[in-house]
Amino acid sequence: MSGRTGGRPELVIFDCDGVLIDSEPISLARLTENLQRIGVPIDLATVARRFTGTSMTSIMAHIATDYGVPTPEGFVDAVRADTLRAFDAELQAIADVAAVLETMPDRRCVASSSDPQRLRHALTLTGLLRHFDGHVFSATMVSRGKPFPDLFLYAAAQMGVAPEACVVIEDSVPGVAAARAAGIPALGFCGGGHWSHDRAGADLLAAGAVRVFDEFADLPHLLGTWDRVSR
């Protein structure tokens, strides 16, 4: 397994929702409406605060514990289908993502809480799938999702890179916490449509991000000056 050989990270691990694609406003709204449909007394602000960046398995475990509402049969599949339909109508890539990925020389992969079908659908829909050469990893591939480190450690191992030679790009507190638990430094991205940028920056820094940024076009500079950024 390779380690860092120079100033830049050996591998850039991207979260997907809220980092590559501006999906969180769509998916959080669909999740909220579907939870309300099965009798969960929850609003969009609470769903966004508690569940952004969290896998559906973890979300439904919290719903059962905190609200006493068990997951109805077929509910998770129904939410996924509803979200994919909304993606078809509304989903866009984060501004400048395609241009940055086109030119950045770094090895990269995706490690997301979303299921593989949703990941492939969203990345294909936005034209971004080709930039990852099949290196797309889902929380369904590991025992525990974010904020546990399992997914990022799995992605690094699959790519043959030591955790300390990677950097994670994350937009959520659970994601930054997972990176930190994995021993991987994280850059916090707060340019997605679901966050107040000021609040997001403070929350991501408090979770352990080494730096935050809200314009994706700034990423090449951050990676190119990584020795200074990561201190």
As a whole-number percent, the residues of the chain with pLDDT over 70 amount to 94
Instruction: Look at residue 196 and tell me whether its pLDDT is greater than 70.
Output: no
38: tokens are 């099965």
Q: What percent of the chain has pLDDT over 90?
A: 79
Statement: 11-22+91-229 belongs to CATH 3.40.50.1000: yes
pLDDT at position 1, please?
63
* Predicted pLDDT at 53: 76
Check whether 198 has a pLDDT greater than 60: no
Residue 136 and residue 191: Cα distance in Å, rounded?
Answer: 22
pLDDT of residue 5: 46
Q: Is the peptide bond before 163 cis (omega within 30 degrees of 0)?
A: no
CATH architecture assigned to 24-90: Orthogonal Bundle (1.10)
Residue 70 preceded by cis peptide, ω within 30? no
Domain map (residue ranges) of the chain: 11-22+91-229, 24-90
| pLDDT tens digits along 60-115 | 999 999 999 999 999 999 999 999 999 999 999 999 999 999 999 999 999 999 88
Q: What is the pLDDT of residues 20-53, one digit of tens each?
A: 999 988 999 999 999 999 999 999 999 988 888 7
